Every structure is written in C-alpha cells, then in structure tokens.
Amino acid sequence: MNKADLDVGTGLVGAPACGDVMKLQIRVDEVTGKISDVKFKTFGCGSAIASSSYLTELVRGMSLEDAGRIKNTEIAKELCLPPVKLHCSMLAEDAIKSAIKDYKSKRVGKPTLGVTA
C-alpha cells in the first residue's frame, strides 16, 4: 500500500529486546469507516510473525474504534504464546494503534462520511 494515500495508515514498531520489527498498514473504507484491507511485514521470530498475521485476520472489517481496543493479551491467548514471547503480541497491539494514529493524523480537517477523527 502507498503510505501517502489518505485512506492508508501505517504503523512501524520494534522491540529493542529481541530486534523484531513490525510494519502494519490498514486501508479504511471512507464510507463505512471500517478497515477494508490490512497488510503486514514482520522481521523477527515465528511468534512475532504469527502475532502480525493473526492481527490482520482479526481487524479486517472492524471499525477503527474496535480495532484500537484490541489488547495484546487477546492475541497471546489465541496463539498460546509463552510468557517469554508476550512482547510479540505487544508489538502487534502497538502496530495497530500506530497505524490508526497515522490514518487519523492524515484526516485532520478532511471531511469524512463514516469515520470519526
């Protein structure tokens, strides 16, 4: 996705403890205000990649408000992550929040139909 598009939000987060880096992009339908597409690119361990992948399935079709309420504990529980890998689910939570923040920052002062800024 082109990160300059007004309907795209990009989140880039990393975990200094282990070197994992996660890039998450969302495309928001401006009529419904729901996430219509989501993509990720993750460099890291299998748990980080699985957390990213699960998050994309989870948020597709969600409103920004609902997606912003996702907690890492929900991801960790679904994937049965061990305590030593909880930071991977935290990365996913941080990535969706960062992508939503980026999207909303582009919408300041712009009229929207289905989206509240």
Has 80 been annotated as catalytic? no
State the Cα–Cα distance between residues 58 and 6, nearest whole angstrom.
22
Other beta carbons within 10 angstroms of residue 82's beta carbon come to 9
- Point out the catalytic residue in the list 88, 95, 96, 100: 88
Q: How many CB atoms lie within 10 A of CB 55?
A: 26
Q: Which residue among 18, 45, 49, 79 is the active-site one?
A: 18
Q: How many CA atoms lie within 13 A of 13 on its CB side?
A: 23
CB 21 within 8 Å of CB 89: no
- Establish whether 88 is a catalytic residue: yes
Active site residues: 18, 88
